[in-house]
Structure 1
Amino acid sequence: MTQMLSVEPSIWVCPKENALEEAHLFLERHKIKYILAQFVDLHGGIKSKAAPVHCLKSLTTSGAGFAGAAILGFDMTPQDPEYLMVADLKTLTLLPWLPGYACIRGTGMVADTPYPLDPRNVLAAQTAKLKEQGLRFMTGLEPELYLLKRDENGKVVPFDSTDTLAKPAYDYQGITRNAKFLEQMYEALSCVGLKVYQIDHEDANGQFEMNFDFDEALKSADNIQFFKMAAKEVANNMGAICSFLPKLSSTTTGNGMHMHCSLVDEADNNIFHDASDPSGMGLSKTAYQFIAGIIEHAPALTALLCPSVNSYKRLVLGTPGSPSWAPVFIAYGDNNRSAMVRIPYGRIEIRIGDGSMNPYLATAAVIAAGMDGIARNLEAPEAHAVNFYDLSKAQLEELNVSCLPKNLSEALDALENDTFFEHALGQRLISSFIRLKRQEWTEYHHVVSDWEVNRYLTFY
């Protein structure tokens, strides 16, 4: 098994002066030989080129070159200029599970201009707009995952064969019997400065959640990509499969990616918080306007936070835990986990996102939608503490609460019809996203499933 790096000081903090020289010393100290220059495609898939460590300067100046036409969703052709990932030294990160390697991210450039279909650029553009207003968007993303293996028949099952409880949430054996994976994950995250504060076995067999501190939106999205790399590689080194699939089966709780949000000013004050809020939720007028923007654009937003066919097997009506905790109701409320927006107090939690979402696009879309609510002075609907799962269709209509799209096609229709996102994130980006996802939807419908064969083989 690959040995982890020590949890001793392995954290790169980019200095204001002599940054390149200091970076080389840092890499030399940790015996780094190669740097993975990384970016993500429209799906959020991590793409890389390995460069010898002596090429660090060129990565930060001319960048690493890629054929853009080979990248999903980048809408480039063979005759287009090269896509260049120009590295940002602040993103330099060791790969603790792979001694001798580090990774780095940055700005995707085409023809000397930040490429508008690069998802990280899209989020960077949104955070830059906030910075002009003296604001920063802080997010805490909560990744859930399955730790799996294939049995002797090739069936995908929990990695821990004793993980068979009907209600395994928070089961102590789920922690202790998977301690090897969880400890190595903790070491990998801690090694690069991510402060883990909670680890638990989730509601499904083989499902876990590991939470680490919030950060500025762009850094949080980078951190999630690092988390996914770490989880997959640590699992692979153990002979396991780590999956962020939104829904493994019809009876399995899905993998969410909840997003906790707050907006802070230049003095680090959380401007979503107001202790005098008469509702007791600790929200400011600005926070309610932000929520109103999220509610206003919720159907279209779903396409970007739940971007796979499989996502909508998670977004189903039913009692929490049987089969899903995922909310399908366009509403918000004080600590209400049956609503798409939950208020833990003084901040906002958006609960619809899942493990398949591209964190850069999803966060950019949330910022855009929420800030639209602020810019237009939208008024949030009434908050509800009721369990929406218990209500009839008539009762939901009486509360003026509707449901999220039922499948990817409906979500794409909503995104296509809500032209706000074309203006906010870029018409070419949204068009490319919709085209890519329409193709996915079509391919899905061409597949004959086991359910269909079992149902109809001798039925007619």
Structure 2
Amino acid sequence: MATAAPARKSREVAEAKQHSAQKTDPVPTEVRRRIDQGLEFFLCSFVEMSGIPKAKLVPSTHVDDMAVEGAGFAGFAAGDIGQGPHSPDLMAIPDFRSLTMLPWRKNIAWVAGNAFVEGKPSNYCQNLVFKTGVEPEFFLVRQEDGCFAPWDTADNAQKPCYDLRVLSHNLDICTSLVKHMQEVGWDPYANDHEDANCQFEINWTYSDALTTADRHVFFRYMVKQIAEQHGLLATFMPKPFHNLT
């Protein structure tokens, strides 16, 4: 019995240290698990005021630095984010709750970052919480002789909204997008052909404003990537063609 006490004490100290490390670890256990399973890179991203997402590609070997200090950006060069040429760097500190694996590049994850300047939240990084949803619409187009046009020449009805025939021409892209959204834990519930030729919409369940905004940023990125895999281009412009709705 005399020798058991030191062993028990040593075990208790080790458990206390482990518990303390878990409490102070800036990287969630789930993120570390994904790294162990093959996650190699993070796209740490934020959105500047004109709506353009910015990002840095950070190797997972530096996840601790990114989690504590953030991914650094020269704010003035990053766009409309309230920074001047002599301003200190803007640091995007990842919100790992937004972590989204790229279904088409499974060793890379996208994560939304909150913008900080000199350790304080940027006035241009808003974090309002209320329930909201979006209905993002996009065109699938092709480039030919330096011009852009709707990719499907058979999609030429005067009123193409909800058209089954032309929706069927785009099942590969539309179903791939829905499956990818399901894979990353969203809840897509409808997909349709919209008012203009070669225009489509995918809907998913609403969430708090920040989560919905983060997902919308990733959705736009994902749609463009999947369109390129099919030899097409995707645009979210509301009216890219003057003669279409």
Q: Indicate the TM-score class for this superposition, using the shorter chain for normalisation.
A: 0.7 to 0.9
* Kept after mapping to 2: 8 A contact 1:160/1:178: no
Which residue of 131, 152, 164 corresponds with 2:156?
Answer: 164
Paired residues, number: 222
Which residue of 210, 213, 222 corresponds with 1:218?
Answer: 210
5 Å matches for 1:98-117?
Answer: 98-117=105-124
* Kept after mapping to 2: 8 A contact 1:20/1:57: no
- Partner of 1:247, secondary structure, is coil
Which residue of 54, 57, 61 corresponds with 1:50?
Answer: 57
- Write the distance in 2 (CA, Å) between the matches of 1:34 and 1:49: 10
- Write the distance in 2 (CA, Å) between the matches of 1:252 and 1:161: 14
Residue equivalent to 1:155:
147
Residue equivalent to 1:442:
none
Residue equivalent to 1:28:
36
Question: Structure 1 residue 38 and structure 2 residue 30: aligned?
Answer: no
- Write the distance in 1 (CA, Å) between the matches of 2:52 and 2:227: 18
- Partner of 2:123, secondary structure, is coil
Residue equivalent to 2:175:
183
Q: Which runs of 5+ in 1 are unaligned?
A: 1-15, 128-136, 254-460
Question: Structure 1 residue 249 and structure 2 residue 228: aligned?
Answer: no
Task: Please identify which structure carries the higher strand content.
Answer: 2
* Kept after mapping to 2: 8 A contact 1:97/1:230: no
- Write the distance in 2 (CA, Å) between the matches of 1:73 and 1:227: 22
- CA displacement at 1:49 relative to structure 2: 0.6
Which residue of 133, 144, 163 corresponds with 2:137?
Answer: 144
Which residue of 178, 184, 194 corresponds with 1:192?
Answer: 184
- CA displacement at 1:61 relative to structure 2: 0.6
Identity rate of aligned residues, in percent?
31
Taking structure 2 as the reference length, the TM-score comes to 0.85
Higher relative contact order (CA 8 A, sep 6+): 2
5 Å matches for 1:350-429?
Answer: none
Residue equivalent to 2:80:
73
- Partner of 1:142, secondary structure, is coil
Question: Structure 1 residue 91 and structure 2 residue 98: aligned?
Answer: yes
- Partner of 2:156, secondary structure, is coil
Residue equivalent to 1:228:
220
4+ runs of 1 displaced by more than 6 Å?
A: none
Deviation per residue, 1:47-106 (Å, 9 max, x gap): 111111121121111111110110221232232211101112212111112231101123
- Note closer, same or farther for the CA distance 1:179–1:52 as it changes in structure 2 (3 Å cut): same
- Partner of 2:136, secondary structure, is strand
* Kept after mapping to 2: 8 A contact 1:85/1:106: yes
Which letter does structure 2 place at the counterpart of 1:37?
C
Residue equivalent to 1:203:
195
- CA displacement at 1:247 relative to structure 2: 0.9
Taking structure 1 as the reference length, the TM-score comes to 0.47
Structure 1 vs Structure 2 CA RMSD: 1.7
Residue equivalent to 1:237:
229
- Write the distance in 1 (CA, Å) between the matches of 2:162 and 2:30: 43
- Write the distance in 2 (CA, Å) between the matches of 1:230 and 1:148: 16
- Write the distance in 1 (CA, Å) between the matches of 2:103 and 2:230: 15
5 Å matches for 1:250-399?
Answer: 250-253=242-245
Q: Which runs of 5+ in 2 are unaligned?
A: 1-21
- Note closer, same or farther for the CA distance 1:100–1:41 as it changes in structure 2 (3 Å cut): same
- Write the distance in 2 (CA, Å) between the matches of 1:21 and 1:57: 12
